[in-house]
Amino acid sequence: MNIKIRYKGNYLGLAWIALEPTLIFLILLTVFSSVFVGSTEDFAIYFLTGIIFHNIFSRGVGGGLISLITNQGILQSSNIKREFFPVASTVTAFIILLVEVAVFFALMPFFEFVPFWTIALLPIVLFLLIVLTLGLSYLLSILFVYVRDIQSIWIVLILAMFFVSPIFWYVDDANEILLSIHAVNPLGQLIELAHKLVVFGEIPPLIDWIYASGLVAMVFIIGYGIFQKYEKYALEEM
């Protein structure tokens, strides 16, 4: 339903689900590949992998953040559980994720990239991305009910995460400050897991899986816990 509403009135309709990420991928890739001329041979795949994760995270959390406020009429007139709305936003992001991954695979021959067998493990990382997105959606959706500045703060934060996550730079080349931020950045940790599986054909060490999963679990538990504690008072604040 959210997808239909988003593209309602467009001449190309739902075709934009595939066309939009394709155009964004190509524009960003053209810019960044021109700037980072010394990057590795598979920089395009490296870059697009990071962009997919950042896009889905940004879109999913951004939609989840406003999910309670934009549906306050339904909340006030029905008995639908409030947990449903952040979930619905995350599901919408997941559907678009599947399309973007399909576009990603379709672009691989264009860049003469043959995927490694390790890419079969990518769904695990995508699942962790969805859990991270849902957890932060729970947290920000309930905070947005009480503090409307949260949306503006999120816009700045998600822009900052584009630069502090290993999307167009490599962890091995990062300085101490960037590495310190990367260590506590769950999105960055997931992107790096994906890079190893997709670009380098490596299976990340178990400790990397545990560490990234721990960060994701922490965000989800905190987000859902705060949502559960304050959601019963949400209608009074709307």
Predicted confidence (pLDDT) per residue in 97-122, tens digit: 888 788 788 878 888 888 899 999 99
Please count the other Cβ atoms lying within 10 Å of the Cβ belonging to residue 19.
14
With b meaning 16 or more CB within 10 Å and e meaning fewer, what string describes 41-58?
Answer: ebbbbbbbbbbbbbbbbb
Domain ranges of the chain: 2-30+40-237
pLDDT along the chain (238 residues), means of 10: 48 53 65 55 84 90 86 65 78 81 83 90 95 94 87 91 91 90 96 95 96 97 91 64
Angstrom CA distances, 57 to 17, 36, 74, stand at 16, 24, 26
Give the per-residue pLDDT at 232.
74
